[in-house]
Amino acid sequence: MILNRVETVPATRSYRYVDYWGTAVTAFDLHAPHSELTVTSSSVVETDRLEPPAEKASWPSYKPRRWSIGSTRCSSRPAIPGEQTRCRRGQEDRQIP
């Protein structure tokens, strides 16, 4: 991003910073009563030419992954008709259609 700007009507005091991922952030608050709020943002950016990927992804190159949320663990695989996903919760195994 080369330039960015945020304007508000009614006018506000704004706070600008760059977040963890390098994104420009503009934060503002408005304490006065108002019946309408208009926020206008404009940016000037530089882009690169899109290059085609070196190789195309395919199902044979897909690798199953495991994910965990809380105490439930599941294996993810490509969605193949008739195949089930197997999940474990603690010591108990169960099939999920």
Q: Is 86 contained in some domain? A: no
Residue 70 included in any domain: no
Give the pLDDT of residue 54.
78
Q: What 3-state class would DSSP assign to 61?
A: helix
* 34: containing domain: 3-44
pLDDT single digits (tens) 52-83: 877 777 776 666 666 656 555 555 554 555 55
**54 domain residue, yes or no:** no
DSSP letter string, 38-50: EEEEEEE---PPP
> So what's the pLDDT on residue 77?
53
Give domain status of residue 25, yes or no.
yes
Residue 91 within any structural domain of the chain = no
**Residue 88 forms part of a structural domain:** no
Number of domains in the chain: 1
Phi, psi of 60, deg, nearest 5: -60, -25
Find all residues with CB under 8 Å of 42, minimum gap 6, and list them. 4, 5
Question: Considering the entire predicted model, what is its pTM?
Answer: 0.46
Alpha-carbon dihedral angle through residues 79, 83, 87, 91, given to the nearest 10 degrees: -160
Residue 69 lies in a domain: no
pLDDT recorded at residue 91: 44
Residue 49 pLDDT greater than 70, yes or no: yes
Whether 11 is in a domain gets the answer yes
